[in-house]
Structure 1
Amino acid sequence: MNRYIAPLVLGLSGIAILVWLGTWQIQRLEWKRGILDDIETTIAGDPQPLPRLIDPEAQRYQPVVLNGEIGSDTLAVLVSVKQRGAGWRLVSAFQTEDGRRILLDRGYVPVEQKDLPRYAGTVTVRGNLHWPDDRNSSTPDNDPAKNIWYARDIGPMAEALGTEPLLVITREMSPADKGVTPLPVDTGGIPNDHLQYAITWFSLAAVWLIMTGVWIWRLKTGKES
């Protein structure tokens, strides 16, 4: 009987740890779903005035409706869009009715349309405030001289266009921004891999259980060398 103690202790301990890890990932899954639901609710909420005091954590995704004028200067940010391919996000200065100048992410155009003339004039914009995190350790430096940006770096962009460091992502524009496809904020880019992690841990627990059973069977039948 003593010879079964080691495989049972090792087996049950490993299974318990793996099941606990899987359960923890299920809990994390529910937590992340709650966060994503809150973000979706915020994105689709009632429009709020542009803030005077900026708080990115509290104001991220805040919906706004703005009347004003798009400027003629536009910055081009390299981007890749599913089912469309490489292209450019166009970011322009936008002056509101009360005289504030902010950044406006107008949306996507294909690579070859980067330097085409764009509408500049009076519009109504429905969108959301955002502080994007496009940059990582492998992101190249921007090249403002060639109007090639690799990330929406709000500070440098605001300096280049003479605006406040405040960015609105267009959801709808009236009149429509001809040739530009809006890329509104959503939760699609926020990872939620906890279900896959949970399946992995539970699968490993099942494998561990089988291996433990085989070990004990070999001991019982005398086939353990």
Structure 2
Amino acid sequence: MTSLKPLLAYTSKVLLTLKKQTHVIYIKRTLLLSRLPLFKRADGRFINFGRLSSTTAAEKGEDSFLKWFLLLIPVTTFGLGSWQVKRRQWKISLIDDLMRLTNAEPIPLPLDPHELNSLEYRRVRVRGKYDHSQELYILPRSPVNPEKEAREAGTLSSSGETGANVITPFHCTDLGITILVNRGYVPRQKIRPETRMQGQVECEVEVVGVVRLTEVRKPFVPNNDVERNRWHYRDLDAMSQVTGAVPIFIDADYGSTIPGGPVGGQTRITLRNEHMQYIITWYSLCAATSYMWYAKFIKKIKL
């Protein structure tokens, strides 16, 4: 213990000396800065060089932070533009797949529910008779025009013509079951069956259609009014309970249209593809902000 006392005393002495020297350096620095010459500006005001040095250092720190922070803008917009390029490729591939399915050679309608779930938009062929006494109406609907919808994808437009899609139970004589068939579009004045009796055939017919699955109600879409027979979206379970059909639904194609009846081919397969607009927007923002960053922080041009 006694051997440690000299060491502790020496350590205390060193620390005290360092403290005094630090205090002296601080005082000298303060006096030096206060005695630095004043510089006269053009407007007659004086600037203390010491204060100017501190202010300049702070401004340099702020500029450095701002420089690298603002670089995030062109980097982010470039990333968003590249993401939209991939999204566009995916959308084009999806549209091509749907077009291929809806134009493929029709197959017999399978009865396995699991198989049907993987066949949406696949063309199938059935044969049987319509039960016109239990028609359902999905409305309001406008007639499908694939070419026009492809041109106007992503725009707010309307044909001005509204009506309904007529959903009719169809007893498949070869399968022994009753399914639901969207026969197609009728204008508002032709919704009532007695206004289109020519198309209410009783004989056996062959129908080629596209398999469709049930829909989930989208936001702002009204609920289906079962009592008034006003349907706004495809609810296969509810439609099956009302008509007694199995929950299998197909959209009849245009070739299955019966003269005087609903016009088939009402499957909308046009998907909105606005990704090219987004690509141009994001890459343009990237180019503009990159130039502004380069001009300000590299070329030192005042913007």
TM-score normalised by the chain length of structure 2: 0.65
Contact 1:7 1:216 in 2 (8 A): no
Match of 2:79 among 17, 20, 29: 20
Matches within 5 A, 1:96-115: 96-98=172-174, 99-115=176-192
Q: Bigger shift: 174-183 or 17-26?
A: 174-183
1:208 pairs with 2:267: no
Corresponding letter in the other structure for 1:14? I
Corresponding letter in the other structure for 1:46? E
> Offset at 1:165?
0.2
1:220 pairs with 2:297: no
Larger radius of gyration: 2
Match of 1:32 among 87, 91, 94: 91
Contact 1:89 1:109 in 2 (8 A): yes
Counterpart residue number, 2:280: 199
Counterpart residue number, 2:100: 41
Render the CA deviation track for 1:69-99: whole Å, top value 9, x for unaligned: 1111210111332525221110000011222
> Offset at 1:8?
4.7
Aligned length: 220
Looking at structure 2, the residues matched to 201 and 52 of structure 1 have their Cα atoms a distance apart, in angstroms, of 48
1:68 pairs with 2:68: no
Relative contact order: is structure 1 or structure 2 higher (C-alpha 8 Å, sep ≥ 6)?
A: 1
> Offset at 1:15?
1.4
Contact 1:7 1:215 in 2 (8 A): no
Corresponding letter in the other structure for 2:247? P
- 1:164/1:133 Cα in 2 relative to 1: closer, same or farther (>3 Å)? same
Looking at structure 2, the residues matched to 60 and 91 of structure 1 have their Cα atoms a distance apart, in angstroms, of 18
- 1:88/1:134 Cα in 2 relative to 1: closer, same or farther (>3 Å)? farther
- In structure 2, runs of 5+ residues without a counterpart are 1-59, 143-157
Looking at structure 1, the residues matched to 160 and 130 of structure 2 have their Cα atoms a distance apart, in angstroms, of 25
Q: Bigger shift: 120-129 or 5-14?
A: 5-14
Matches within 5 A, 1:14-163: 14-55=73-114, 57-72=117-132, 73-81=134-142, 82-83=158-159, 85-98=161-174, 99-117=176-194, 118=197, 119-121=200-202, 122-131=204-213, 133=215, 135-163=217-245
- 1:220/1:211 Cα in 2 relative to 1: closer, same or farther (>3 Å)? closer
Higher strand share: 1
Contact 1:40 1:186 in 2 (8 A): no
Corresponding letter in the other structure for 2:73? G
Corresponding letter in the other structure for 1:113? K
- In structure 1, runs of 5+ residues without a counterpart are none
> Offset at 1:103?
0.2
- 1:175/1:187 Cα in 2 relative to 1: closer, same or farther (>3 Å)? closer
